[in-house]
Amino acid sequence: MREIYSKVKPSMLLHVINRVDDITTDRADLVDGKQFIQVSCFEMDKGKTFKPHRHIPNKKVTNMTQESWVVIKGRVKVYLFDINDSVMETPILEPGDCSITLRGGHTYESLEEGTIVYEYKTGPYFGQEKDKVFIEERKDAPDGSKYPWNKLKEDTTVMGKIKNSISTVSVSLRVSIIKANIVTIATCIYSRTRLNYILYATIILNFVVMQNWVC
């Protein structure tokens, strides 16, 4: 197990990398009991078992999201960020390896087709808008390679700009707009009202876009 501390605040533990080869028959707690996410590992011999149990309800307060990835198949390159959004390290995870982010940022790049991972994080989950902020693009990685997220292209089409401009609209509002469009179209058909082409196009475009948002 390797612990990675902040270079900005050297006493702050940010990330933990645990390799499958580090696992032994002795139970190892990869983070201390004060962290919101708890991750342990151990090797089990044939016939090993535990006494059945259930967990006691306890009120626990969390004020941040902590996350862990376990690679099941393939290989993953991890970009680990400090609290000032600078990249600290870029380790590669093999099957059975685990990464834990307690603080700071991270992202992952699959290095093989068909890569499979398990992702765990503290809950409850209130949606992306309240869960994360995106780190600004940086030109080059420490090893000279291009960051994978720099390859992501923004949708510059008219439809794409419309979606991006109001991607934060609540689901309830989106549903309300869809219902309003349906009522408007139904009313026009029933009353045989002649709408101009611009209004027709606006209604249809709005309806299609809103359906995509909900999906």
Whether residue 52 is contained in a domain is answered as: no
Mean pLDDT, rounded, for 114-128: 91
Pair 96, 35 in one domain: yes
Alpha carbon distance 211, 215 (integer Å): 6
Is 103's pLDDT higher than 90? yes
CATH number for the domain harbouring residue 6: 2.60.120
- The reported pTM is 0.64
Local structure of residue 70 (DSSP, 8 states): E
Of 112, 132, 151, the position where a domain reaches its end is: 151
- Reported as a pLDDT band with limits 50, 70 and 90, residue 130 is confident
Q: Residue 17's domain spans which residues? A: 2-47+59-151
Structure tokens at 115: 């890569």
- 88 and 182 belong to one structural domain: no
Closest by CA to 203, choosing from 182, 187, 189, 176, is 182
Residue 73: φ, ψ to 5°: -145, 140
Please give the biggest Cα pair distance in the chain. Answer: 77
3-state secondary structure of 30: coil
Between CA 35 and CA 45, with CA 39 as vertex, the angle to 5 degrees is 155
Residue 53 lies in a domain: no
